Amino acid sequence: MTAPRCAGKALELYEQIGFVAGMAAALNNLAWYQTKLLRHTEAIAHCERALALEIEDREAHAAILDTLGFAYRCGGATGRAVDCHERSVNLYRDLGLHRSYAESLDRLAEVRLVLGELEPARAAWKQALVALEAVGNVDSAELRRRIHAKLTDAGLD
């Protein structure tokens, strides 16, 4: 079974038992996979449905906003992508989730770069690196390396 089908099945099961937080997570996962499959309209609809569930889990809310921003960016709606990523970044920062904060900043920087906003892109990547230094674990090393490479490739280091 493919990952999108598993997420769809999880959504179906969560709906049957009325587990709203599970439904939101499954919708978010499904949206992420759909974006990767270039089904941006479907991904956006799933994220919007997940947000409409009004779950009280702020980390899950941040994750959904981040996925929504990614779907908007991939679908060409860069202005909406910036808004979603900024909201996600703020939530992750407030929650002290450094790794997720850095990942969302990375996606925000990529959108800024697409928009030609070089200084805001550089600033977001630099903030991401600072956040990753706070984490300092091995899992963060790869993200740190990728962000350094993106800064260098964009001539922003």
pTM: 0.92
DSSP 58-110: HHHHHHHHHHHHHHHHHTT-HHHHHHHHHHHHHHHHHHT-HHHHHHHHHHHHH
Q: pLDDT, tens digit, for every residue of 59-116?
A: 999 999 999 999 999 999 999 999 999 999 999 999 999 999 999 999 999 999 999 9
